[in-house]
Structure formats: structure tokens, C-alpha cells
């Protein structure tokens, strides 16, 4: 039987999950289609990239998935990887404010206090800052509005100090973005809903986030990876795909709409004829891919930021003064260029051989992007200098691995949801059978990407069956 082709563009977690769910649906429904996944680089996995060296497991990109988001765990179970899962080691985490490490106060959610006691006892915010933050309990709710920046929302409720010292370091750590430009509704719409319903975020969190029951044993970490690193899920997905599904080293140049569907043109000059297409590449690739269609032009203006991480392996003896915990994030008002640091040997003990330490630090604040391009040696030195302001490391690392991620972190700026909806609406009229998924759209977390992949697959099947 001559099978028609569905093309998936991009072989990151979104593209691979889409290919997996699509082939599963094709098999189950016995549909006359085949899947081709086109990937520009010579490997699949995109921002998931595990390096194994000298007995260490080093994550060059993402290091884990959050366990409470179901699409990730569901896929892991389907793939038969449950026994490979490991949870992160739990321990004290810190925020570095004006050069000093402070324990993350208990009972805070994304830096927003839920319990007043630990907040008042914390040294993160001055007494004046605490009084200002507690205005949240009495301050009138803001007007209903379609979107606003995360920064202006939290600053209005809590004042600048709590935002700059606690909320901003945590949130910008997730999105590598500037919270004064990021969209509240595309990132944490639940905070807006809490304000509208309870008038106060502190009261709202108290009402809606249950206090975990007291347990005698250690609570499992909120994140998971795999014994062999996060790449395990990528390798398993590849193993599950039909032979010849993936086309590596093939850049999609552009896509032409034809009467019978789409022509996907590769930079090699090859053309793949498709009845439906799922794109999973970053938003900035879309205006060129669909250059016949002006409605994707606004994606040219959506910013992306760059980050780099520096993983360094040490002999334990090199760390003279360690800290009891798993890592810290850094506030913007600290004289540091690293933005976060993980003691990977404590967070993921199986990543590091006995007697060794693995420390991973990030650089690349929204207003310090040039740091990402520093030469390797300078970057390692800069990171060591910063680390030595809080620890005492007496020897050079046995090795360092630098991973640069350039213009790759999509910024969900104010108006993001509206922009995405508009593009999708236009696409449904002008590009029927083309669907956009991936981290530029509805969530940067890996489970969000998997969820988007599964939804796009349902849309493709519905489209082809009607």
C-alpha cells in the first residue's frame, strides 16, 4: 500500500514524543500513513544531552523532569522506564542575596510565602521589606486584565525587596528571562487567579496548596531523572520508533503549500511530500519555514535568551569548605555572574563516582548575555572565582565541560498566549494540517513539551480522518 507521509520537524523531546504517539496511533487504528522526523543536527534529543565521562554523568542541558506533571511520568511508564527512574536527593537549597547565602524559607511556593512564621524568621528580606510584603494580606486585588508582566504583578503585591531577593531568582532560573517582561498568564496564571479569587496570594496559597503530611522518613524529591541520565528517555524513544523514521543532518529550509498537501524542502534540495506537518522547532524558525505566510512574522520579534553551564569534576578533597545542601540560585543584586549552582553529587549521587564532586553552574542573565561567549578558560575561572566567595575550593577542577545554549530559551513575554492563539487560528485557516508544538509555545518544561506533542498528534489524526 502506498502510504502518505506525516512530517515532524525537529528531533528534541517534542518531536520524538510526537513521532512515538503518532506511530502508536497509526498502528492501533491501522491507518495508511508513515512518519518522517527531520532533524537538523547529527543527533536527536535537542536540549536533552547527557555526557558520560570518567564515571560521571553530566547533563549538558536539562537535568530532570518534575514528577507532579503527569504527561512525563505517563510516557516514562509507557516506555517501560519506571525501573530506571531516580529521584533527586532532597536537601537544603539556598538563595544568594547580596553575596550571602540564605536558606530557602520553608512553606514558600515559587518564593511566595505561604506560612508567615518562616517568612518572618528568614533573613532574606529586611524588616521593612517584610512589612511591605505582608501588605498582600490587605491590599485590594488588581483589575481584571488579559495579561501583565510577572514582575509588575508581584511588585504590586509584595514590593520590590521580596521580588528581587526571593521570587525573581527562582522564576528567572526556570525561564532564563527577565520577570519584568515575562507574561504572567503564560507562566503562572494560577497566581492571577488566586489574586482575583482570594484578594491575597498568601491567603490564596493557604487555601489551595495543601500542607504535606508530616512523615518520619525522607520525602522523595520532586524531580526525576534516570540511572543513565536524562538521555535515557531519548534513546528509548528512538528505539521504539519504526526503522528509517528519523532523518538526521537535514535542515528544513521551507515548506510550500500545494493542492495535495505540503512540500517540505530540505537544504539538501530533497523534497518530502506530506499530508500533515508538526513543527517542534523554536519559534524563530517558523517565519522562514512558512515565508509565503505573513502571519508568522511576529515570531521574528519574540526574544530568546542564551545561557551556558559549566560542569566541573573535582576530587572531594579539593573542596575544603562545603555547604550542607544541594545548591543555590543567585539574586540579581549580588555581585556574581553565575546565576545558579548545583552540587550535582548531592542532588544526583549516582552521577558522581565515590570520592568525587560534580558542580554545575549557570551563567547568562538577561542583561549579561555576552558572558556566554567568553572563552572556555575565562568562563571556568569566572565560575571558580564566584564559587570561592561562598565555598573554599583549593584545587583546579579535574575537568570542565562547557555547554552553550545560544538564543534557545524562548521568552514568553507579555501577550504570549494571545500571540500563539492568533498564529494557530490563522494556521487552521491558511495551513490546514500544520500544527505547532514545542517549548516556544505552551511550556518549556519537558512534561509540557510531551503534552503538546500528544495533543498535536490527536489534531493530526482528527484532521486526516475527517
Quick one: which segment of 45-53, 83-91, 312-320, 420-428 binds ligand FAD (CB under 6 A)?
A: 45-53
Residue 50 or 281: which CB sits closer to ligand FAD? 281
CA–CA distance, 64 with 71 (Å, rounded to integer): 14
- Identified binder of ligand FAD from the candidate list 4, 5, 34, 41, rule CB under 6 A: 41
Ranges within 395-454 binding ligand FAD (CB under 6 A): 405, 408-409, 438-439, 444-446, 449
Query: What cell numbers appear for 40 in the block?
Result: 537538523
Angle of CA points 272, 443, 149, to nearest 5°: 130
When asked if residue 9 is in the footprint of ligand FAD (CB under 6 A), the reply is yes
Residue 204 or 438: which CB sits closer to ligand FAD? 438
Angle of CA points 59, 65, 66, to nearest 5°: 140
Residue 63 or 161: which CB sits closer to ligand FAD? 63
Residue 48 or 162: which CB sits closer to ligand FAD? 48
The CB-of-29 to ligand FAD minimum distance in angstroms stands at 25
Rounded to whole angstroms, what are the CA distances from 211 to 128, 205, 207, 217, 435?
28, 10, 10, 16, 40
Residue 233 or 384: which CB sits closer to ligand FAD? 233
CB 38 within 8 A of CB 249: no
The CB-of-160 to ligand FAD minimum distance in angstroms stands at 28
CB 48 within 8 A of CB 10: no
When asked if residue 71 is in the footprint of ligand FAD (CB under 6 A), the reply is no
The CB-of-344 to ligand FAD minimum distance in angstroms stands at 12
Residue 56: count of CB within 10 angstroms of its CB: 20
Quick one: which segment of 56-64, 89-97, 311-319, 373-381 binds ligand FAD (CB under 6 A)?
A: 56-64
CB 101 within 8 A of CB 336: no
- Identified binder of ligand FAD from the candidate list 26, 63, 161, 427, rule CB under 6 A: 63
Quick one: which segment of 41-49, 93-101, 199-207, 425-433 binds ligand FAD (CB under 6 A)?
A: 41-49
- Identified binder of ligand FAD from the candidate list 8, 19, 40, 329, rule CB under 6 A: 40
- Identified binder of ligand FAD from the candidate list 120, 251, 275, 374, rule CB under 6 A: 251
When asked if residue 38 is in the footprint of ligand FAD (CB under 6 A), the reply is yes
When asked if residue 311 is in the footprint of ligand FAD (CB under 6 A), the reply is no
Rounded to whole angstroms, what are the CA distances from 298 to 146, 147, 316?
19, 18, 50
Phi/psi-derived region of residue 261, left when phi > 0, alpha when psi is between -120 and 50, beta in every other case? left
Residues in contact with 271: Cβ distance below 8 Å, sequence separation at least 6, in sequence order: 263, 264, 265
Helix (H) or strand (E) holding 152: helix 150-158
- Size of site (CB under 6 A) for ligand FAD: 36
CA–CA distance, 220 with 66 (Å, rounded to integer): 12
Rounded to whole angstroms, what are the CA distances from 425 to 1, 7, 70, 356, 428?
34, 21, 27, 53, 5
Strand 356-363 versus strand 304-315 pairing type: antiparallel
When asked if residue 62 is in the footprint of ligand FAD (CB under 6 A), the reply is yes
Residue 39 or 161: which CB sits closer to ligand FAD? 39
When asked if residue 12 is in the footprint of ligand FAD (CB under 6 A), the reply is yes
Would you call 283 exposed, middle or buried from its count of C-beta atoms within 10 A (0-12, 13-18, 19+)? buried
Residue 446 or 456: which CB sits closer to ligand FAD? 446
Residue 61 or 159: which CB sits closer to ligand FAD? 61
Q: Footprint of ligand FAD on this chain (CB under 6 A)?
A: 9-15, 38-41, 46-48, 61-65, 251-252, 280-282, 285, 307, 309, 405, 408-409, 438-439, 444-446, 449
Amino acid at each position: 500500500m502506498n502510504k502518505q507521509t506525516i512530517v515532524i520537524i525537529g528531533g528534541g523531546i517534542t518531536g520524538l514524543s510526537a513521532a512515538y504517539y503518532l506511530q502508536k496511533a497509526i498502528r492501533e487504528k491501522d491507518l495508511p500513513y508513515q512518519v518522517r522526523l527531520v532533524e537538523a543536527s547529527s543527533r536527536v534529543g535537542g536540549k536533552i544531552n547527557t555526557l558520560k565521562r570518567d564515571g560521571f554523568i553530566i547533563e549538558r542541558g536539562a537535568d530532570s523532569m518534575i514528577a507532579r506533571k503527569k504527561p512525563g511520568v505517563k510516557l516514562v511508564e509507557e516506555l517501560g522506564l519506571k525501573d530506571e527512574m531516580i529521584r533527586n536527593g532532597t536537601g537544603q537549597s539556598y538563595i544568594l542575596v547580596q553575596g550571602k547565602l540564605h536558606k530557602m524559607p520553608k512553606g514558600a511556593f515559587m518564593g511566595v510565602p505561604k506560612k508567615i512564621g518562616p517568612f518572618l524568621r528568614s533573613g532574606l528580606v529586611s524588616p521593612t521589606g517584610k512589612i511591605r510584603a505582608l501588605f498582600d494580606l490587605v491590599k485590594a486585588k488588581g483589575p481584571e486584565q488579559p495579561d501583565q508582566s510577572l514582575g509588575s504583578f508581584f511588585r504590586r503585591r509584595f514590593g520590590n525587596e521580596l521580588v528581587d531577593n526571593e521570587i525573581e531568582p527562582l522564576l528567572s532560573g526556570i525561564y532564563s528571562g527577565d520577570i519584568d517582561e515575562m507574561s504572567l498568564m503564560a507562566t503562572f496564571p494560577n497566581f492571577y487567579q488566586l489574586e482575583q479569587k482570594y484578594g491575597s496570594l498568601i491567603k490564596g496559597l493557604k487555601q489551595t496548596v495543601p500542607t504535606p503530611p508530616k512523615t518520619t522518613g525522607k520525602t522523595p524529591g520532586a524531580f526525576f531523572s534516570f540511572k543513565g541520565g536524562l538521555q535515557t528517555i531519548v534513546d528509548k524513544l528512538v528505539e521504539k520508533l519504526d526503522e528509517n523514521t528519523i532523518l538526521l543532518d537535514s535542515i528544513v529550509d521551507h515548506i510550500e503549500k500545494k493542492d495535495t498537501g505540503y512540500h517540505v524542502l530540505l537544504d539538501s534540495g530533497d523534497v518530502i511530500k506530506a499530508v500533515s506537518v508538526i513543527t517542534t522547532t523554536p519559534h524563530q524558525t517558523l517565519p522562514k519555514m512558512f515565508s509565503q505566510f505573513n502571519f508568522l512574522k511576529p515570531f521574528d520579534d519574540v526574544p530568546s535568551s542564551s545561557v551556558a553551564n559549566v560542569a566541573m569534576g573535582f576530587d572531594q578533597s579539593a573542596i575544603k569548605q562545603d555547604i550542607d545542601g544541594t545548591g543555590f540560585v543567585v539574586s540579581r543584586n549580588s555581585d556574581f555572574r553565575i546565576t545558579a549552582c548545583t552540587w550535582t553529587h548531592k542532588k544526583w549521587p549516582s552521577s558522581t563516582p565515590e570520592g568525587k564532586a560534580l558542580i554545575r553552574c549557570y551563567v547568562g542573565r538577561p542583561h549579561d548575555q555576552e558572558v556566554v561567549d567568553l572563552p572556555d578558560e575565562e568562563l571556568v575561572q569566572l565560575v571558580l572565582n564566584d564559587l570561592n566567595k561562598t565555598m573554599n575550593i583549593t584545587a583546579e577542577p579535574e575537568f570542565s565541560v562547557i555547554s552553550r545554549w545560544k538564543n534557545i530559551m524562548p521568552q514568553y513575554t507579555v501577550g504570549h498566549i494571545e500571540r500563539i492563539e492568533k498564529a494557530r487560528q490563522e494556521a487552521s485557516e491558511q495551513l490546514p494540517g500544520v500544527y505547532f508544538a514545542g517549548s516556544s509555545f505552551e511550556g518549556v518544561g519537558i512534561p509540557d513539551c510531551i503534552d503538546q506533542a500528544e495533543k498535536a498528534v490527536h489534531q493530526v489524526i482528527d484532521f486526516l480522518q475527517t
